[in-house]
Every structure is written in structure tokens, then in C-alpha cells.
Structure 1
Amino acid sequence: MRLRILAAAATMLLFIGAAGTAAADAPTPRSARTAASVQVPAGVTAAVAVFDRRSGSFTEQLNTSTAFRSASVVKLLLALDFLWDRGPDYGVPAADRARLEPMLRSSDDKAANYYWSQYGGPAIITRMVGRLGLKDTAPPPLGQEGFWGYTALSARDTVTIYRYLLDSAPAPVRDFVMGNLRQSTRCASDGFDQHFGIAGAFEKPWAVKQGWAGSSFEDGTCGSGAAASATRTSAPAPSTAADVDLTRPALHTTGTVGPDDRSIVAVFTLHPVGTSYGKAYTDIGRLTRSLNVPGATRPAGWWYGTWSDHVNVRRNPSTDGSPLTQLPAGVEVSVGCQTQGQVVSVPPYTNDWWAYLPQYGGWISNIYINSPDNRMPDVRDC
């Protein structure tokens, strides 16, 4: 039976580009690319820095000195400030390990609140600016000092932070921080799906620290976690702020990609007021996939849009058992292959085809794929 997707998805295929193999979507040498290689979706304000540690040079630079509100990316500085000068063995007390690990892996806000309040709040940022020689980083604006997510941070300063971690930090500090970033959980502590950008655009190995903030991001949850306050720091966003936009929804992806952390990637984005989490998630994914990232491996597959709220990702092509996770509403996904399985009905429509999502390690019914037919016409069978 021919599937006609409901309302918003009833037209044609929302399909950006297909890559039958990883090689087909492999990074193109810089010399073969146009100057405007960074593809910024319409309506998005972005800053990008990609640094190749092997060559010691940038392969992508866009608005690198522009300061954005950091959201949870500032947690890198909170962790480094705590670990600074802790002694020859840099041992992490058990109580702090229990806070730092979820803060770095799952972006835990309670842990960030603890370190912000215990170690001086804005003074943490001032200390780290001096220690690392950061150029664009600044504490939250006057009147918002209690909110760590309003720290100003740029793409080039983020590269500097990672370069310190990888090249200058004591080995125990490097191993602790980067080891936790390599174990980034799909669902953050507040229930948001945080595997956008780098984590969605490239195969492992990668290590990521993400950031998100926006009152329109209530639809970003995955699994059973309950969403926390949309601004991540519970602060009302002011209508204006000097130098840094605190109003538009923000979504940032930062980290390293490739064997031996070859490339450092920092992507900061702002989206129009009212943008849903799924739309912002999709847009930062498209932007990140457009980048020249040495050492990166692109996932093989076909990119498709989805519809409906919180589609369940299943272990098998059936609705049996508990779901592995849920998709943010309307997010774009990479489909590895498709097969026939249990019939799913969303009256008056039915579909027995299922799509395998390799980066989720599970299946969703094709009934939730933005495709004109039950079986996607260009995707191979599993």
C-alpha cells in the first residue's frame, strides 16, 4: 500500500543527499573545494573552526572569534578549573568523580551548579582565560552572574581549550577529561538527545562536549528522561545583551574526530526564535557534515527526515519489547538499509517496512520516514 505521510510530511521526499558508501561522502581535499565550503542552513547564525592537529593548520574557519553563549560547553572549563594544580597524581576524590563524570558524559547540570557555586562562579572563567590565553571568552554579563551557561565562548577559544587538553595538560587530566568525552551518552542527564553534530556526522572514534539552550526545545527528549528547563540554567533569557545573544535558541557541537584525536571541531549555532529541537538538530547536522574534517569517517547511508513526536527506536523490526530510545521530533536520520517486518498502523496508513539506523543501533518503522512510498526507493535492502 502506498504511504502518504500526514500533513507536514505529505509532499515529497525530504532527502538531502545519498551516500551508498562511506567513501562517497568522504572529505574532499581542501584544494578541490570552493572557498565557501561551510554550508550554513538558511536562518542559522554559525561559527566554525576545524583544526587538523597533524598539519597544525585550520581546514575550516567561519566567524571564529564571534562569541556565543556557551551553554554546556563551559563545563569543560569548570572541569579544568577543578583539576588545575591538584598535585602530582591529580587524583580525583570519589565525591567529585561522581559529579564530574556525569557532567562531562551526560552534561549534568546539577554538577555544573555545584562547581559554579563552590569555586567562585565568574571567577572560574577569569582564571581559565588567563591560564589558557583565551581571547574571546568572558564571564556571564552583569546581572546574570549566577548562570554559567551565559559564559561567552568562541570557536577559536574552544579549539584552544582542546589543544591544551591534548597537547599540554598533565596526562591524568587529559585522560580523565577526554576519556569521559569519549563516553558521551546519547541521552543527557536532563533527557535531551545530545548526539547531534559531530556525534551524528562521523563514525567513532570521536569525543564530544555539546551545548543546547532554548525555550522551544521541549521536544528534544530521548528515552524516559524528563526535560529540564529549556535554558539549561533556569535563567530567564534577557531580550538584549551586550555582545552575546542570549535570546535565540543555541545548539553547539565541539570535540575531536578521528584516530589520535586528529581533528578538533567547534561548531556554534543560533537558530530563529521558536525553532524546534528536531529542526535545530537537523540543521547543525547538515552543517557539520559539510565540513572538511581530516581523519573523519562518514557513515554509509541515506539521510531522510522523519515525522511524528518521539518515534521509538526498536531493537528489531517490530514493536515487541521496550524501545532503545526515542527520536527528537522531526529529526533527520541516516538510514543504513531497510527490511520488511511487523506491520505498523497509523490509521488510515499501514506499513511493514522498517529502516535500520546504524548510529542508533536500532530500527524505526518506515511509516515515520518522509518518503512517498512504503519502501524507500533508493535505500538497499538489509
Structure 2
Amino acid sequence: MLGRQPASPPPRRGAAGVAAAALSVLLIGCAPSAVATLPNQHGVSEARAKPTGAPAAATASVDQQAADQSNPVGVAILDRATGEVAYGRLAQQPMYSASLSKVIVAVELLERHRVTPQDRFAMRRALGPSDDQAMNALWDRYGGSSLITAAANRMKLQQTRPPDEPGRWGDTVTSARDMAAVYQHLLAEMPAADRDFVLDALHAAPSRAADGVNQKFGLMAVDAQAVKSGWMCCQKATVWVHSAGVVDPGRRYVVALLTAQPSSVGYGEAIEDINEVSRTAVTRLR
């Protein structure tokens, strides 16, 4: 979406320096791995389960695997039962959102309580088949970049900001930390009908996206419950491949994985890499 797939990418290894240079253009500040506990919020049981350490263990494993791959991965994992949230080394690394911005926009529009049946149809298309034309319609109808600014303010997102070019919603900047916060807001703060609307649309996503791309990668490839995939190339000579959402039917765990690699890598290898770290994360949580 909003990009082209590079043809016949050469072997990748040794490209870590190129990836780091591309990422530095967007760098605002990266925190080391960290673990926190969320305060009790609406929608989360007051009698919390005992902390398990699973989010921290999963995040550490993803960070290690990403380092072994020379693959910059931003990871954030939330356990809604215990309130634990773990941030990987690049969790606050700003990256282009690609289609993850569709989730941000859907949440913001639903929070305004003024969506029409036509809007809901467009949101289902944007969230499930990842239909760019449906997203274009919502973006144009409701103020474009101002949607991202409003969402960032509403959900207290730290790295999320509108695209430099107002029409390029895929160039919205976000982070793994912020995408985990978006899903936490959706699950804990929104009315059940709106929450279920978004999660059901994501859960129903077909393997083949509206643009013909196989979007069953990352967390979708390990049968996660309600996930948005994102893919884009070749802004800033980078291929962006993301996966973020709710991984289990009980809606306990939220995982956000954002990756950025040199465009010479191509979608094929970038998707293989995010599939591997997704398996690692989910295995640690199950």
C-alpha cells in the first residue's frame, strides 16, 4: 500500500548500517527495554492477576532475535490481566505507520460518536481488507491530518504525529509503544459496541488485501485474534512491515511489532523476519 515492492532484492545481511541510517531520519529518542504496570482502567478487572513476567520475557526474546537478524524491531507487549506492559529497546522508535494509521483513525472517528452507516462500511473495508480507497474517503471527509493530531491528544500518544504531506496517511508517524496504547484505549475506554466493531472487523480480515497483497503475515500468520498488518515501501529507502493487535480470544494480550529495513531487502525477507519475531512473542505468551 502506498508504495512499490522492490524487484529482485539482493541478499540482506550486512545491511544493518543502512537500516540504522534510514531510521535515524525519524529518530526522536529510543528508550532501553522497560517494564511498567498500567493503572486499573475501565474494562480491566479490579482484582488483577499476579504478575507473570511474560510480557518482559517475550519482549526480551524479540529484542534478542531482532538483533540476531540485524532487523530494527519496535516491540511493546501488554498483559491486560496483570497490568504489565513491557517495552523493547526500540518501542519508542518513530516509524511510518503504513496501514496501522487505519486503526488510529477508526478509533478517533468512533470516539466522536458521529459516524454514519457509510462511514462504518468504509471503516470495515479499511480495517479488514485494508482498502486504501476506503481510508482515502474517511481521511478526506474528516479532516485528514487533524484526525491524527486529535487521536494523539486523546490517547496521550507520545511519538504519533501527522504525515509531513497531508494526503499521505501512510506516512503518519507512530511507534510500537503508541500502537499498544491505541489498543489499550480501544479495549479499556471505548463503549463495547465500538470496541467490538473494530475487533470484529480486524478478526474478519481476509488473507488477501484489497490491493492483492497477502496480508497474513506477522501476528496474523500465527493466528492472532484481531490484528492489523501494515506494509509500505520505499520511503526513505526503507521497507516498513508492521503487525499489531490482540493476540488471544480472551483479549488479554496486546502485541505491537513495527519493523523498518533497507528497501533493498524487499517485502519477502522483511515478512519472513516479522513472522519469526511474531512466533517468538506469541509462543512466550501462550
TM-score, normalization by structure 2: 0.75
C-alpha distance after superposition, 1:309-348 (max 9, x if no partner): xxxxxxxxxxxxxxxxxxxxxxxxxxxxxxxxxxxxxxxx
Aligned to 1:44: 71
Partner SS, residue 76 of structure 1: helix
Q: Does 1:203 align with 2:239?
A: no
* CA–CA distance in structure 2, aligned partners of residues 258 and 212 of structure 1: 23
Provide the aligned C-alpha RMSD in A.
Answer: 2.5
Q: Evaluate the alpha carbon distance shift between residue 58 and residue 293 of structure 1 in structure 2; reply closer, same or farther with a 3 A threshold.
A: farther
Q: CA deviation at 1:33?
A: 5.7
Aligned to 1:378: none
Q: Evaluate the alpha carbon distance shift between residue 208 and residue 284 of structure 1 in structure 2; reply closer, same or farther with a 3 A threshold.
A: same
Aligned to 1:24: none
C-alpha distance after superposition, 1:230-264 (max 9, x if no partner): xxxxxxx3xxxxxxxx4300000000111321110
Q: Does 1:156 align with 2:177?
A: yes
Q: Does 1:247 align with 2:237?
A: yes
Aligned to 1:125: 148
Checking the alignment, whether the CA contact within 8 Å between 2:58 and 2:281 is kept in structure 1 is no
* CA–CA distance in structure 2, aligned partners of residues 265 and 34 of structure 1: 10
Q: CA deviation at 1:189?
A: 0.4
* Misfit runs of 4+, over 4 Å: 28-36, 292-295
Q: CA deviation at 1:96?
A: 2.2
* CA–CA distance in structure 1, aligned partners of residues 178 and 56 of structure 2: 28
Correspondence list, 1:161-180, <5 A: 161-180=182-201
Q: CA deviation at 1:43?
A: 3.5
Q: Evaluate the alpha carbon distance shift between residue 32 and residue 197 of structure 1 in structure 2; reply closer, same or farther with a 3 A threshold.
A: closer
C-alpha distance after superposition, 1:77-114 (max 9, x if no partner): 22122222326xxxx53322321111110110001111
Counterpart among 111, 127, 135 of residue 134 in structure 2: 111
* CA–CA distance in structure 1, aligned partners of residues 89 and 271 of structure 2: 20
* Equivalent position amino acid for 1:145 in 2: P
Which runs of 5 or more residues in structure 2 are unaligned? 1-9, 11-51
More helix by share: 2
* Equivalent position amino acid for 2:179 in 1: T
Checking the alignment, whether the CA contact within 8 Å between 1:263 and 1:293 is kept in structure 2 is no
Fraction of identical pairs, as percent: 35
Q: Evaluate the alpha carbon distance shift between residue 272 and residue 97 of structure 1 in structure 2; reply closer, same or farther with a 3 A threshold.
A: same
Q: Which has the higher contact order (CA 8 A, sep 6+)?
A: 2
* CA–CA distance in structure 2, aligned partners of residues 36 and 101 of structure 1: 34
Checking the alignment, whether the CA contact within 8 Å between 2:176 and 2:256 is kept in structure 1 is yes
Partner SS, residue 191 of structure 1: coil
Greater CA radius of gyration, 1 or 2?
1
Which runs of 5 or more residues in structure 1 are unaligned? 1-7, 9-27, 216-236, 238-245, 297-382
Aligned to 2:258: 268
Partner SS, residue 116 of structure 1: helix
Checking the alignment, whether the CA contact within 8 Å between 2:56 and 2:86 is kept in structure 1 is no
Checking the alignment, whether the CA contact within 8 Å between 1:259 and 1:295 is kept in structure 2 is no
Q: Evaluate the alpha carbon distance shift between residue 33 and residue 182 of structure 1 in structure 2; reply closer, same or farther with a 3 A threshold.
A: closer
* CA–CA distance in structure 2, aligned partners of residues 93 and 119 of structure 1: 12
TM-score, normalization by structure 1: 0.57
